[in-house]
Amino acid sequence: MTTAPAAPAIKAKQRPGDRVFSTATVVSGSLILVTLAAVAIFLVAQALPAFTAEPTAFKGDAENFWQYVGPLVFGTIWAAALALLMAVPVAIGIALFISHYAPRRLAQALGYVIDLLAAVPSVVFGLWGITVLAPAVQPFYTSLTEWFGWFPLFAGPVSGTGRTILTVAIVLAVMILPIITALSREVFLQTPVLHEEAALALGATRWEMIKLAVLPFGRPGIISASMLGLGRALGETMVVAMVLSPAAVISFAVLQSQNPTTIAANIALNFPEAHDIGVNILIATGLILFVITLAVNMLARYIVERRKEFSGAN
Amino acid sequence: MSLTVTPQQAPTGRSTGPIANTLTAGKLPRFAALWVLLGCLAVTTAFFVILAVASETGFNIAAAVFLGVVLYGVVIWVLSRVVEGTRKAKDRLVTALVSTAFTIALLPLISVAYTTIANGVPRFDLQFFSESMRNVVGAGGGALHAIMGTLLITGMAALISVPVGLLTAIYLVEYGRGKLKHGITFFVDVMTGIPSIVAGLFAFALFALFTGDPGIRMGFGGAVALSVLMIPVVVRSSEEMLKLVPNELREASYALGVPKWLTIVKVVLPTSIAGIITGVMIAIARVIGETAPLLIIAGFTTSMNYNLFEGRMMTLPVFVYTQYMNQGTDVQAYIDRAWAGALTLILIVALLNVIARVVSKLFSPKTGR
């Protein structure tokens, strides 16, 4: 290889076609930034009246906006956290199964099967949750309150329909499984093969190899995948709107018929009939949801970005 | 760590009796795990069959399989611990757990597919695809208006998102450098995480401010909301595909004196078109099932509406939702329609996915050799 001595840069001839095309691409790229800014600006503009609204404008017995949105924020985070708690261990298990346990030839097909879950529209999951899952788990809930009712989470009285926040969290967990699985699988497959072989050569069993080589390498990946799943669970609307029997309460009990609802579901249920200031209030809650998911997603992306620098895989 | 425990297992212990083959001593026979699994499943199945006969309830297959697998985990752990030692036992237990995790994920998938087909088929008839819900109370009626609305709104969304998304991807791969590129990449990622209902609220706020109508509902707004959700997906997938085009092709084109934009249009895009179309199809499949934003900005109606810019417009996911949530006197008719709509929706999504795979198979550039 010979490198030419620093020659004066030859300026390419600027043709009109080039200029039009490159401008078009820059404009489209900037359009994305503009859109994101517009989302924030328009939501704020429509939300402002809600912060100074009269106490009578709020449904229920909330005095001001923050009292109104409080239980909703709690419900949103609580449902998403429960879903995450269930989804992450299973997702890691599936990702390990596909990347390290399943026969090589089957692995890709099994990956597709899990991706199929992501293709099911949320409204279908809602329909399934309310007609199949809720009745199926209700007897189980009843025995849970009978045996473990002393534990605050499972306190009675049990819901007779099974339409509780735990059922919602189960459906949400199923919905965020594919995204967490797909991302963790990618990270697990990037584990340096030399590390794995070194562990095996030292006599480690397969589980010890995973514990020593794969999991430490994949930890940041698992964390960011979980955060992205959390972001999705926070914003999921239809399942919560259809399955949950809502109430404006802050309660950790997961098996009762009085459940805290989520911001998104509250908007979907009330928006069609809302008018005047009611619309502004719902948009303001949407703004809060936007801020929460934005924070979670940016944190996740930040972890991914930081990891890229030292992984060597990219 | 547990690696240091190994010496305790040295041949000093349990050497009673003759050992046939020292290499296979201290190991379970080759297919032991499989037989134990089958045995455990047989035991739990028998237990639940007896329970079903005794209490005259239905046979609970999910519980039988689940408890069978749990039992397998316990039995294989104990067995392996006795014969093979703690480390092997733990390994076998984890293998069982990981496989169980995969089966757990399959259960909802099978259940959703089964219930949708079983409940959707009764109303999956010609009437469902040829009539709207106008003046229908109780049985009858169809979802033609919803299917039409879904096609129009999703088509419009694709019309907006594909050019914008593709051009952005071209910018990121071919032109972009510095802060703007970094910013766009980051915010495209952030945009993927916008909750769908927020996209709907955004479209509503936008059009409510511009038209001055505080209760605005129109199909075009739905298309804008879906575009907000769709653009980042298109950008991501197209970007990946453009990156796969080898630099040699671009350099060969430049060397022949072809301008940059013609190189992109005539060389880069044709090479990656299969992957781009696949990505677009998958993006459409993702937004076509969105309910929340359309519920907000497109609203719902029972009549046909072909005009994207005026009036409420029904879409298939919203149809499913409203049929279920606003049941009339003849409850079963509404539920049947909801399931038939869900089945149609799933079939459309599946079809889009299949087309995507076929396109990527057929039109991807032939690699030499």
Mapping DSSP onto H, E and C, the string for A184-222 reads HHHHHHCCCHHHHHHHHHCCCCHHHHHHHHHHHHHHHHH
Which residues of chain B make contact with A167, given a CB cutoff of 8 A? none
Q: CA B277, CA B269: separation in Å to the nearest integer?
A: 11
Predicted-complex ipTM score: 0.85
Are the C-beta atoms of B312 and B305 separated by less than 8 Å? yes
| A212 within some domain | yes
State which residues form the domain around A211.
82-311
| Interface residue of A115, A226, A237 to substitute, partner B, most B CBs within 10 Å | A237
Are the C-beta atoms of B312 and B115 separated by less than 8 Å? no
Which residues of chain A make contact with B195, given a CB cutoff of 8 A? 234-237, 264, 289-290, 293
Partners of A246 in beta bridges: A259
User: What CATH number should be reported for the domain whose range is B129-363?
Assistant: 1.10.3720.10
pLDDT at B159: 93
Say if the Cβ atoms of A25 and B98 lie within 8 Å. Answer: no
Say which residues have a Cβ less than 8 Å from residue B324's Cβ, sequence separation at least 6: A127, A130, A242, B334, B335, B338
Helix, strand or coil for residue B3? helix
Q: CA B232, CA B169: separation in Å to the nearest integer?
A: 10
| A272 within some domain | yes
Say if the Cβ atoms of A289 and B195 lie within 8 Å. Answer: yes
Q: How confident is the model at residue B67 (pLDDT cuts 50, 70, 90)?
A: confident
In A, minimum Cα distance to B168 occurs at: A29
Helix, strand or coil for residue A246? strand
**Tokens coding B97:** 């757990």
Say if the Cβ atoms of B183 and A33 lie within 8 Å. Answer: yes
For chain A, what percent of residues have pLDDT higher than 90? 17
The residue-averaged pLDDT of B312-317 equals: 89
pLDDT at A173: 93
The residue-averaged pLDDT of A64-68 equals: 84
CB < 8 Å from B in window 255-274 of A? 264, 267-268, 271-272
pLDDT at A7: 65
CA distance A98 to chain B (A): 9
Say which residues have a Cβ less than 8 Å from residue B172's Cβ, sequence separation at least 6: A29, B181, B184, B185, B235, B239
Say if the Cβ atoms of A128 and B116 lie within 8 Å. Answer: yes
The residue-averaged pLDDT of B31-37 equals: 82
Whether A181 has its CB under 8 Å from any CB of chain B: the answer is yes
Q: What is the pTM assigned to this prediction?
A: 0.85
Q: Is the pLDDT confidence value at B284 over 80?
A: yes
CA dihedral A284→A285→A288→A289, nearest 10 degrees, is: -130
Give the containing element (helix H, strand E) for B91: helix B86-120
How much is the CA Rg of chain A, to the nearest whole Å?
A: 25
Q: CA B363, CA B369: separation in Å to the nearest integer?
A: 17
Q: Is the pLDDT confidence value at A208 over 80?
A: yes
At position B122, the amino acid (one-letter code) is P
Could you tell me how many helices (H) and strands (E) chain B has, helices first?
14, 0
Q: How confident is the model at residue A313 (pLDDT cuts 50, 70, 90)?
A: very low
Q: How confident is the model at residue B45 (pLDDT cuts 50, 70, 90)?
A: confident
Q: Is the pLDDT confidence value at B63 over 70?
A: yes
Are the C-beta atoms of A245 and A159 separated by less than 8 Å? yes
CB < 8 Å from A in window 80-139 of B? 87-88, 90-91, 94-95, 97-102, 104-106, 108-109, 111-112, 115-116, 119
Which residues of chain A make contact with B228, given a CB cutoff of 8 A? 35, 39
Exposure pattern of B102-124 as b/e (b: 16+ CB <10 Å)?
bebbeebbebbeebbeebbeebb
Q: CA B107, CA A174: separation in Å to the nearest integer?
A: 10
In A, minimum Cα distance to B316 occurs at: A123
CA distance B165 to chain A (A): 7
Could you tell me how many helices (H) and strands (E) chain A has, helices first?
12, 2
The residue-averaged pLDDT of A48-62 equals: 78
Which residues of chain B make contact with A72, given a CB cutoff of 8 A? none
The residue-averaged pLDDT of A3-27 equals: 76
pLDDT at B367: 57
| Interface residue of B69, B111, B112, B347 to substitute, partner A, most A CBs within 10 Å | B112
Say if the Cβ atoms of A120 and B346 lie within 8 Å. Answer: yes
The residue-averaged pLDDT of B277-289 equals: 89
The ranges assigned to domains in chain B are 29-122, 129-363
In B, minimum Cα distance to A284 occurs at: B201
Q: Is the pLDDT confidence value at A6 over 80?
A: no
Q: How confident is the model at residue B17 (pLDDT cuts 50, 70, 90)?
A: low
The residue-averaged pLDDT of B235-240 equals: 90
Query: What is the total count of domains within chain A?
Result: 1
Partners of A247 in beta bridges: A260
The residue-averaged pLDDT of A293-307 equals: 79
Q: Identify the DSSP state of A157.
A: S
* CATH number of the domain enclosing A125: 1.10.3720.10
Weakest-pLDDT range from B53-67, B106-120, B126-140 = B53-67
Separation of CA B259 from chain center: 41
Helix, strand or coil for residue B215? coil
Nearest CB to A293; choose among B95, B193, B300: B193
| A124 within some domain | yes
Which residues of chain B make contact with A43, given a CB cutoff of 8 A? 198, 201-202, 205
Q: CA A73, CA A293: separation in Å to the nearest integer?
A: 12
Q: Among A7-11, A256-260, A307-311, name the most confident range.
A: A256-260
Are the C-beta atoms of B294 and B217 separated by less than 8 Å? no
Sign of CA dihedral A293, A299, A301, A304: negative
Whether B205 has its CB under 8 Å from any CB of chain A: the answer is yes
Exposure pattern of B330-357 as b/e (b: 16+ CB <10 Å)?
eeebbbbbbbbbbbbbbebbeebbebbe
For chain A, what percent of residues have pLDDT higher than 70? 95
CA–CA distances in Å: residue A259 to residues A72, A74, A162, B113? 10, 11, 11, 29
What is the pLDDT of chain B when averaged over all its residues?
Answer: 84
CA angle B350, B356, B357 (to 5 degrees): 95
Sign of CA dihedral A114, A119, A121, A127: negative
CB < 8 Å from B in window 103-122 of A? 110, 113-114, 116-117, 119-122
In B, minimum Cα distance to A229 occurs at: B193
Q: Is the pLDDT confidence value at A53 over 80?
A: no
Q: How confident is the model at residue B69 (pLDDT cuts 50, 70, 90)?
A: confident
Q: Whose structure tokens read 């104990």?
A: B78
Give the containing element (helix H, strand E) for A259: strand A259-260
pLDDT at A5: 59
Could you report the per-residue pLDDT of B150-176, keeping only the tens digit for each? 999 999 999 999 999 999 999 999 888
Say if the Cβ atoms of A272 and B299 lie within 8 Å. Answer: yes
Nearest CB to A207; choose among B90, B190, B300: B90
| A191 within some domain | yes
At position B227, the amino acid (one-letter code) is S
Q: CA A179, CA A235: separation in Å to the nearest integer?
A: 14
Q: How confident is the model at residue B18 (pLDDT cuts 50, 70, 90)?
A: low
What is the pLDDT of chain A when averaged over all its residues?
Answer: 84
**Tokens coding A11:** 């300026």
Q: Is the pLDDT confidence value at B61 over 80?
A: no
CA distance A313 to chain B (A): 16
Say if the Cβ atoms of B193 and A90 lie within 8 Å. Answer: no
β-bridge pairing A259-260 and A246-247: parallel
Q: Is the pLDDT confidence value at B145 over 80?
A: yes
The number of beta carbons lying within 10 Å of the beta carbon of residue B7 is 7
Could you report the per-residue pLDDT of B345-363, keeping only the tens digit for each? 999 998 988 888 888 878 7
